[in-house]
A and B are shown apart, each in its own frame.
Chain A
């Protein structure tokens, strides 16, 4: 069965600093990959997704992610973090028709001023 690992439970970065959140998946074929963000007290919102094609994907709020097949990774990046980016971030993997999304455990991002 497919699985998703987010190795970092918490990350703290300074405002203006760059950010990288890690995500590794386990699946034999190319999966469908997603990053969602959850602000406190809110539901999850899609940041970006990868299905095929260009391995560097641009999303909303200045985020991007890169799919690396050789490393089974789909890391999320942002060049300069804003205080409003403080939230919990979830990586998710989906398979082809008939299956569901599997979410990682999430990474809580704290931004210090």
Chain B
């Protein structure tokens, strides 16, 4: 069964610190990876997508992909209380000629002032 695993947390960091969120996936055929942020009672919102090994930076966010280790991470620099949310990792995994979007269970991040 194709799985995306995340630590449920909560991960608690002080304001201004770097928050590090991690994700592993089981299907080596997975090619595309995404990080979503979901505030309580709201819908998931795409933050980053990454397709190739290495780092991808967008503002305070950096996504990292290591296909050999089947590992994806998200770093949030200068964390703000407004970053407090659940972060969902997702992978697009191949299945019967199509691709199934598979989500992890999410990591709850708390940024305290």
User: Is B truly associated with A?
Assistant: no
